[in-house]
Amino acid sequence: MRSSVVIFPGSNCDKDIAVALEKFNFKNLMVWHNETTLPKSDLVVLPGGFSYGDYLRTGCIAAKSNIINGVIEFAKKGGLVLGICNGFQILIETGLLPGVLIRNKNLNFLCKNVYLKITNNKNNFLSKFNKEIIKLHIAHNEGNYYVDERNLKTLEDDNLIAFKYCDKKGNIAEENNPNGSIKNIAGIFNKKQNILGMMPHPERMIDKYLSGEDGKLFFNNIFSKHA
């Protein structure tokens, strides 16, 4: 399984995700944002960070970068694309995923562990998860997902919501919604379910010495499906 991680000048989770991918046996290549074509890949990752400083709307300049056309083309052909945190924001700005990510409801950057309920495991990313509730880490300022009613209905009807913020037991309620996202949404798919955008960082939870190891399930899962 070959993966490519795009590095924007302000990416700061590119190395973390590369370490995670290699740990789980991906043959990974890093791709500089000024490139115009992607190397042959099975998975393309847009990592977390501050792509071009994000002084404007997060991800909006990255959505016009040189490499992004390659990513869009790759996605349209059905290739697996994963956007984590800033990567999710960029995917939204490209239009590959619907909605918008606005500032957290308390207007603060938020870095903490959260529980997530996997709401759709019939896809390329999450099909072999052996549990429904996982713990991952979030670290963002703009993770408050919003989408209009029509698109929300599509997300729900077509089962395109990947994760929802919940409590330890899986209850989805306002008090375990860290950032104000509509319907506690933490991650979504496109219609074909080959693109996943998510705010939590699985790459930060890949062994028992870190604050959790549910990220391991995540990477193991993509790999086992396509080995």
Partner 1 sequence: MVNYFLTIYLVNMRKVDFDSKTIKEHGLSNSEYKKICELLNRSPNLLELGIFSAMWNEHCSYKSSKIHLKKLPTKSKDVIQGPGENAGIIDIGDDQAIVFKIESHNHPSYIEPYQGAATGVGGILRDVFTMGARPIANLNSIHFGSPKHPKTKNLLIGVVKGIGGYGNCVGIPTIGGETYFDESYNGNILVNAMSLGLVKKEKIFYSKASGIDNPIIYVGSKTGRDGIHGASMASSNFDDKTEEKKPTVQVGDPFTEKLLLEACQELMRDDSIVAIQDMGAAGLTSSSVEMAAKGSLGMEINLNNVPCRELNMSPYEMMLSESQERMLIILNAAKEKNAKKIFEKWNLDFANIGKTIKTKKLILKFNKNIVGDIPIEALSIKAPVYDRKFIKKNIPKKQIISKDKFNKLKIIDTLIKLISHPNISNKRWVWEQYDHTVMANTLQKPGGNSGVVRIEKTNKAIAATIDSSAEYCVAHPLTGGKQIVCESWRNLISVGAKPIAITNCLNFGNPEKKNTMGEFIDCVEGISQACNYLKYPVVSGNVSFYNETKEKSIKPTPTIGGVGLIKDYSKMITMNLKSENNILIVVGKTLGYLGQSLFSRIILKNKKGPPPEINLFNEKNNGETILELIDKKYILSAHDISTGGILVSLVEMCIAGNIGVKIDSPKTLVNLYEFFFGEDQGRYIIEIKNDNFNEVSNILDKNSVFFEKIGTVQKDKLTLKNEFDIFIKELIDYNNKWFKSYIS
Q: What does the binding site for partner 1 look like in residue numbers (CB under 8 A)?
A: 9-10, 12-13, 15-16, 19-20, 48-50, 52-55, 108-112, 137, 139, 141, 201, 203-204, 206, 209-211
The order of strands in the sheet holding 161-166 is 27-32, 2-7, 43-46, 80-84, 195-198, 185-189, 161-166, 110-118, 133-140
What is d(CA 45, CA 84) in angstroms, rounded to the nearest whole number?
Answer: 8
Sign (positive or negative) of CA dihedral 161, 165, 171, 177: negative
85, 137, 140, 142: which is the annotated catalytic residue?
85
SS3 for 69-135, per residue?
HHHHHHHHCCCEEEEECHHHHHHHHHCCCCCEEECCCCCCCEEEEEEEEECCCCCCCCCCCCCCEEE
Q: At what angle do helices 68-76 and 86-94 cross, to 10 degrees?
A: 80
Q: How far is the CB of 135 from partner 1 (least distance, A)?
A: 13
Q: Which is nearer to partner 1, 42 or 213 (CB)?
A: 213
Q: Which is nearer to partner 1, 93 or 203 (CB)?
A: 203
Q: Which is nearer to partner 1, 75 or 93 (CB)?
A: 93
How would you classify the pairing of strands 2-7 and 27-32? parallel
33, 137, 140, 203: which is the annotated catalytic residue?
203
Q: How far is the CB of 197 from partner 1 (least distance, A)?
A: 19
Tell me if residue 85 is catalytic: yes
- Residue 163 burial (10 A CB sphere; 0-12, 13-18, 19+): buried
Q: Which is nearer to partner 1, 98 or 215 (CB)?
A: 215
Residues in the chain: 227
Q: How far is the CB of 220 from partner 1 (least distance, A)?
A: 16
Q: How far is the CB of 97 from partner 1 (least distance, A)?
A: 23
Which residues 6+ apart lie within 8 Å of 64 measured at CB? none
Q: How far is the CB of 138 from partner 1 (least distance, A)?
A: 10
Q: Which is nearer to partner 1, 167 or 225 (CB)?
A: 167
| Residues noted as catalytic | 85, 201, 203
